[in-house]
Structure 1
Amino acid sequence: MSPGQLAFDLPHRAALGAEDFLVSECNLAAVRLIDAWPNWPDPVQVLVGPPASGKTHLVRVWQEGSGARMLDPVTAGLPWLDAQAPGTCIAVEDADSAGFDENTLFHLLNLAREKGFSVLLTARAGPNRWPFSLPDLVSRLSAVPVTDIGVPDEALLRTVMLKHFSDRQLTIEPKVLEFLALRIDRSLEAAAAAVDAVDRAALRSGRKISRQLVSEALERTATME
């Protein structure tokens, strides 16, 4: 990190290999959920958050600690579930949008109680908004505990952007970073997109990252949407 760059006092959690998971108030409950396994009060847990909020990172952390297997919507059906040993941990990513068979999910929830499975499902919205119609599945999901990843606070948003710039070997002055952070939506997806737009603008123009370049990059992005 260059002397001109900002640093924020946020703890780091290793996730997805070399990447770091940044812990802040908005995702602290989710981190505590992962840390609490295997002492979950309910064997099935749902982790909800917007795109790029860190759900996949936390699933990978949980897999490393639990040996959890990933349920695939195409190949992992009822026979695959029945073949799993008692106590197996199973992760289900994008449970609301990946095209999972409803009978398979219902059977998974039953096995969580019958065979002591630990199940972690992730989604962008809570189970009451999932596009399922099987009454028993809908009823069962309504009772599953849900942990939300909230909107990132300003410190997390700026730290994430600073990391993205650093990963691209780019430097950004503290005041320019603050200028950028105030002009994007408060989401990690928006932060990543903003850094990409600024990076492309800097490459095109051959200029250093400044307030003017940031303004031009964001304006260009807005006109393309």
Structure 2
Amino acid sequence: MSLTVLREKAMQLPLELGHDPAADRDHLLISRSIMPAIDLIDRWPHWHTPVTVLVGPPGSGKTHLSTIWKGLSQARPVTAELREGRPVAARHGAFLFEDADREAFDETGLFHLINTVRQHGGSLLITARSLPQLWPITLPDLKSRLAAATTVEIGAPDDALLQQVIFKLFADRQLEVDDRLVAYVVTRMERSLDAASQIVDQIDKLALSRNRRITRALAAEVLAAREAI
């Protein structure tokens, strides 16, 4: 796919990187790295297990996907209850627990919620940045329940996705950049959407501070400074 086509596609790219994207299925970018997660959403309610954990790095699309699923399934958000240790009055239906590994939560409450979902044929989607086995869980029964859940990972972004992200991030700042500059950055940056957001922000700020247009030399300076940290 040419960089010109990537630039055009990027105008509709939803991201979780500092602005409020459209959260519907039609605006969801499809790439190899996110295809397993898209397939997960599209297969509901015919999931392999009633509990699924969606794992991905910051900005990878977890919130966008969980929002789509919440609308599709009419899922009830339970993040606040589990964070605050309040009981979740759950029977039938679907439930959404977001960013499970970001802060402490009521392990017993999640254990009981999983049991209820399993007993009554419901669904529970949990999102996180890391795999469940890496969470600091002390309740053995909860560890066992999470081990039995389906885990779907959003992979590292490929070059095509990173190029679209960078075009989009510059466009959000009303900035046009050269195709060659984007290709240069993508081949030298860390493979994450969070890094893409940081790099675009740093390039923009450096250009503004020097009252200069954005060039490959300026991008190279930002990338070199990041490598030196």
TM range (shorter): 0.7 to 0.9
In 2, Cα distance between equivalents of 1:10 and 1:34:
22
- 1:31-87 Cα distance to aligned partner (Å, 9 max, x none): 110111112121111111122211111111111222222212334622xx22x4412
Corresponding position of 1:6? 4
Corresponding position of 2:28? 21
Write 1 or 2 for the structure with the bigger share of helix. 2
Match of 1:32 among 39, 60, 64: 39
In 2, Cα distance between equivalents of 1:14 and 1:167:
11
How is 1:120-139 mapped onto 2 (pairs within 5 angstroms)? 120-139=125-144
Match of 2:222 among 209, 217, 220: 217
| Residue 52 (1) aligns with residue 93 (2) | no
In 2, Cα distance between equivalents of 1:17 and 1:178:
24
Corresponding position of 1:154? 159
Corresponding position of 1:208? 213
In 2, Cα distance between equivalents of 1:65 and 1:129:
30
In 2, Cα distance between equivalents of 1:176 and 1:23:
24
TM-score by length of 2: 0.86
Corresponding position of 1:183? 188
Opposite residue 6 of structure 1, the aligned amino acid is: T
Deviation at 1:17, TM superposition (A): 4.8
Structure 1 residues 52, 13: closer, same or farther in 2, change over 3 A?
Answer: closer
Contact kept in structure 2, 1:13 and 1:23, CA below 8 Å: no
| Residue 168 (1) aligns with residue 173 (2) | yes
Corresponding position of 2:92? 86
Q: Identify unmatched segments of 5+ residues in structure 2.
A: none
Q: Between 37-46 and 99-108, report the one with greater CA deviation.
A: 37-46
What RMSD in Å do the two structures reach over aligned CA positions? 2.2
Opposite residue 219 of structure 2, the aligned amino acid is: V
Structure 1 residues 76, 34: closer, same or farther in 2, change over 3 A?
Answer: farther
Deviation at 1:112, TM superposition (A): 0.6
In 1, Cα distance between equivalents of 2:201 and 2:21:
22
- 1:185-204 Cα distance to aligned partner (Å, 9 max, x none): 01111111111111111211
In 1, Cα distance between equivalents of 2:62 and 2:221:
32
Corresponding position of 2:83? 74
- 1:93-121 Cα distance to aligned partner (Å, 9 max, x none): 12123211110110110011123321000
Opposite residue 157 of structure 2, the aligned amino acid is: P
Structure 1 residues 158, 131: closer, same or farther in 2, change over 3 A?
Answer: same
State the secondary structure of the residue aligned to 1:91.
Answer: strand
Q: Identify unmatched segments of 5+ residues in structure 1.
A: none
Structure 1 residues 68, 134: closer, same or farther in 2, change over 3 A?
Answer: same
Contact kept in structure 1, 2:32 and 2:158, CA below 8 Å: yes
Q: Between 149-158 and 200-209, report the one with greater CA deviation.
A: 200-209
Contact kept in structure 1, 2:169 and 2:200, CA below 8 Å: yes
Deviation at 1:26, TM superposition (A): 0.7
Structure 1 residues 110, 150: closer, same or farther in 2, change over 3 A?
Answer: same
Deviation at 1:151, TM superposition (A): 0.8
- How many pairs does the alignment contain? 216
Deviation at 1:91, TM superposition (A): 0.9
